[in-house]
Amino acid sequence: MFPSARAALSLAARGIQHTTVRQAHRKHEPNFHDKYGNLVLLGGAAVFTTVWGYVLTQLGMEWGLSPVGRITPREWRE
């Protein structure tokens, strides 16, 4: 490995190590996901369940997906 590349890698590694040590000694401040993550997840699950409950029960879809017995062939035209 070239000396300049080795020096660049050691500087990058030293910077990463310095950052991790600095972050390890810092007090953890809750961010948005720490504060509201579970609430947002539960809210999304409730909306998902409500919308699909409406779709499955109120829209009047016919769920018989097989066309057997419902489609009759027409006469062939020549």
Q: How far apart are CA 15 and CA 21, in angstroms?
A: 10
So what's the pLDDT on residue 18? 67
Instruction: State if pTM tops 0.85.
Output: no
Percent of the chain residues past pLDDT 90, beyond the cut: 21
Tell me the DSSP string of 13-29: HHHHHHHHHHHHSSPPP
Amino acid, single-letter form, for residue 48? F
Q: How far is CA 27 from CA 15, 18, 21, 23, in A?
A: 20, 16, 12, 8
Average pLDDT over residues 45-66: 84
Q: How far apart are CA 14 and CA 67, in angstroms?
A: 67
So what's the pLDDT on residue 56? 84
